[in-house]
C-alpha cells in the first residue's frame, strides 16, 4: 500500500500540524511530497520564535513536533516574496499533481499564488486549501490554531466536569482532526482527477471538521433548547464508569460497566460492592461507588486490573503515558515504532503509519528533512537549473539551508 500513490507529486505549502499531517499520510503512501519553506518564513513547528542563538544551535532541526509530521518528504526553500522565488514555485507547480496549503486566507492572494494564478501554470492542478474557517464567509481571513478551532466548534462545552468550565480535548485537537480530513480530501480530489482528468479547488474548513464530533450537543440543543450537561469521565446511564487510580504515582485504569452481567462480575471481584444494588441506586450513589472501586484499584497495577477485569468480560484499559508507549507489548508486537537516524538529533523513534496491507508496518523511507536539504535535487534534477543558477539563488537569499531572522528585526 505504501506505493499506492507512487508517481504522484504533491507540493506542500503547509506548516504546523494539520497540513503537514495530511501530506505526511500521502508521503507514507508513496507520493513524492515536496515541502516548500523559506529561510525567513520556515515551518513554525520548527520553533515559535527564532533567535540568533537558536539558529546557531541548529534549533530548527531539533523540534520533535516537526520531526513527527514531515518524514518521507523532500524539503526546499524558496522566498515566495521574491519574483524569482515565485516564478520557480510556479514552474514546480507545473510538474505537480496537487498542492496543499494551510495559510491564513489572505496570504496566497497577496503573493498572486492563489488557485486562479496556479492553474495558469497547471490547468489540471488539484489544490486543497486548509484554512481554519474555510475560504469564504466573514471569518475566512481570521488566523487560528488547533486550539482556536476547537473552541470555535463548541466541542469544549461538551467535555469536562459539570462544576468546571468547558474543557479542551488537547492543546491543538483541531489540528489532528483537520489533518486527517485533509488527507481524505486530497485523496478524493486525486481520485476524481484520475477518472476525469480534471483538477479542482478543494476548500476545507478545519472548524467544520470538528463539528461532527459535537453533533450530540447540537442535537440536544435543537431538541431541548438547552445545552447538555457535562459528565466528565462518568456516563449518565452507566456506573461504575470512569478512570480510577492504581498503584504508583499518576497511574490510572479505565473501567466501564455497561451491562448487569458485567456488574455482577465486578461485584464478585471487588469487596464492598454488595451494598450497591440496581442501576438507579448506583447512579444515585455514584461518588460512593467510585470511592469503593478506587480503594481496590489503588492496591494493584493498571495491567493487573485491566487483565483481571477483561477476563471477566468487563471493559478495562490501562492508561498509557509517553514512556509506557515505548514499551507497550501490543505496539512492540506490531513493530509500531521505527527508529530512524536523523542529523542533529541522532536515533529517534518514529510512529508507523496506522494502516498497512501486510503483517509488517510500512517502512519509513527517510526522517524529516532538514531545511533546504533537497534544494539541489529539486531545482537541478526536476527544474533543470544549472549549478551556477543554484549558486546565484543562494547568493540572492532566495534559497538556503539555515533560518534567517526577518530583515525588519
pLDDT in tens, the chain (409 residues): 568 999 999 999 999 999 999 999 999 999 999 999 999 999 999 998 889 999 999 999 999 999 999 999 999 999 999 999 999 999 999 999 999 999 887 899 999 999 999 999 999 999 999 999 999 999 988 888 888 999 999 999 998 888 888 888 888 899 999 999 999 999 999 999 999 999 999 999 999 999 999 999 999 999 999 989 999 999 999 999 999 999 999 999 999 999 999 999 999 999 999 889 899 999 999 999 999 999 999 999 999 999 999 999 999 999 999 899 999 999 999 999 999 999 999 999 999 999 998 999 999 999 999 999 999 999 999 999 999 999 999 999 999 999 999 876 4
CA distance 275 to 196: 68
Q: What is the CATH number of the domain that holds 75?
A: 3.40.50.10540
Question: Domain limits at 58?
Answer: 9-212+357-395
- Say whether both 103 and 47 belong to one domain: yes
pLDDT at 407: 76
- Say whether both 203 and 289 belong to one domain: no
Q: Which residues pair with 33 in a beta bridge?
A: 10
Contact call for residues 99 and 23 (beta carbons, < 8 A): no
- Say whether both 135 and 263 belong to one domain: no
> 0.85 cut: is pTM over it?
yes
Is 408 part of a structural domain of the chain? no
Q: Is the dihedral of CA 253, 257, 261, 265 positive or negative?
A: positive
Final residue in a domain of this structure, among 318, 340, 365: 318
- Say whether both 312 and 372 belong to one domain: no
Backbone angles phi, psi at 58, to 5 degrees: 55, 40
- Say whether both 179 and 69 belong to one domain: yes
Is 219 part of a structural domain of the chain? no
Give the total number of structural domains in the chain.
Answer: 2
Is 406 part of a structural domain of the chain? no
Contact call for residues 168 and 150 (beta carbons, < 8 A): yes
pLDDT at 105: 79
pLDDT at 409: 47
Is 45 part of a structural domain of the chain? yes
- Say whether both 361 and 313 belong to one domain: no
Under 8 Å CB-to-CB from 72, ≥6 apart: which residues? 24, 27, 28, 33, 364, 365, 366
- Say whether both 15 and 107 belong to one domain: yes
- Say whether both 185 and 311 belong to one domain: no
Is 169 part of a structural domain of the chain? yes
Final residue in a domain of this structure, among 297, 318, 339: 318
- Say whether both 270 and 374 belong to one domain: no
Is 185 part of a structural domain of the chain? yes
- Say whether both 206 and 266 belong to one domain: no
Is 60 part of a structural domain of the chain? yes
- Say whether both 15 and 125 belong to one domain: yes
Q: What burial class does residue 139 get, using C-beta atoms within 10 Å of its C-beta: 0-12 exposed, 13-18 middle, 19+ buried?
A: middle
User: Cell 479547488, residue?
Assistant: 201
- Say whether both 49 and 153 belong to one domain: yes
pLDDT at 261: 96
Amino acid at each position: 500500500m505504501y506505493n499506492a500513490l507512487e508517481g504522484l507529486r504533491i507540493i506542500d505549502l503547509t506548516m504546523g500540524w494539520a497540513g503537514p499531517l495530511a501530506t505526511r499520510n500521502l508521503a507514507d503512501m508513496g507520493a513524492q511530497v515536496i515541502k516548500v519553506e523559506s529561510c525567513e518564513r520556515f515551518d513554525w513547528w520548527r520553533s515559535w520564535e527564532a533567535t540568533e542563538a537558536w539558529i546557531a544551535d541548529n534549533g530548527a532541526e531539533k523540534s520533535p513536533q516537526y520531526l513527527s509530521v514531515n518524514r518521507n518528504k523532500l524539503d526546499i526553500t524558496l522566498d515566495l516574496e521574491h519574483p524569482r522565488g515565485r516564478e520557480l514555485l510556479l514552474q514546480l507547480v507545473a510538474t505537480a499533481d496537487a498542492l496543499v496549503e494551510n495559510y491564513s486566507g489572505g496570504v496566497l492572494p497577496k503573493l498572486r499564488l492563489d488557485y486562479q494564478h496556479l492553474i495558469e501554470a497547471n490547468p489540471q492542478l488539484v489544490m486543497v486549501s486548509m484554512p481554519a474557517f474555510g475560504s469564504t464567509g466573514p471569518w475566512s481571513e481570521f488566523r487560528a490554531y488547533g486550539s482556536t478551532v476547537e473552541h470555535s466548534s463548541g466541542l469544549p462545552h461538551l467535555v469536562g466536569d459539570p462544576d468546571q468550565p468547558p474543557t479542551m480535548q488537547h492543546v491543538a485537537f483541531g489540528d489532528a482532526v483537520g489533518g486527517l480530513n485533509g488527507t481524505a480530501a486530497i485523496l478524493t480530489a486525486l481520485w476524481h482527477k484520475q477518472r476525469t482528468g480534471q483538477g479542482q479547488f478543494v476548500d476545507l474548513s478545519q472548524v467544520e471538521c470538528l463539528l461532527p464530533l459535537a453533533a450530540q450537543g447540537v442535537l440536544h440543543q435543537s431538541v431541548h433548547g438547552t445545552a447538555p450537561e457535562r459528565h466528565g469521565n462518568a456516563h449518565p446511564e452507566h456506573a461504575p464508569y470512569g478512570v480510577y487510580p492504581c498503584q504508583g504515582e499518576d497511574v490510572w485504569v479505565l473501567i466501564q460497566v455497561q451491562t448487569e452481567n458485567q456488574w455482577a462480575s465486578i461485584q464478585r471481584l471487588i469487596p464492598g460492592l454488595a451494598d450497591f444494588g440496581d442501576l438507579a441506586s448506583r447512579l444515585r450513589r455514584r461518588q460512593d461507588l467510585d470511592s469503593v472501586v478506587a480503594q481496590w484499584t489503588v492496591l494493584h497495577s493498571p495491567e493487573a486490573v485491566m487483565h483481571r477485569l477483561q477476563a471477566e468480560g468487563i471493559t478495562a484499559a490501562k492508561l498509557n503515558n509517553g514512556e509506557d508507549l515505548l514499551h507497550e507489548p501490543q505496539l512492540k508486537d506490531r513493530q509500531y515504532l521505527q527508529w530512524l537516524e536523523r542529523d542533529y538529533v541522532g536515533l529517534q523513534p518514529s510512529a508507523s503509519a496506522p494502516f498497512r496491507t501486510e503483517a509488517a508496518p510500512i517502512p519509513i523511507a527517510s526522517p524529516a528533512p532538514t531545511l533546504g536539504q533537497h534544494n539541489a535535487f529539486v531545482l537541478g534534477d526536476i527544474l533543470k537549473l544549472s549549478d551556477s543558477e543554484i549558486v546565484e539563488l543562494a547568493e540572492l537569499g532566495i534559497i538556503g539551508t539555515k533560518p534567517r531572522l526577518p530583515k525588519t528585526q
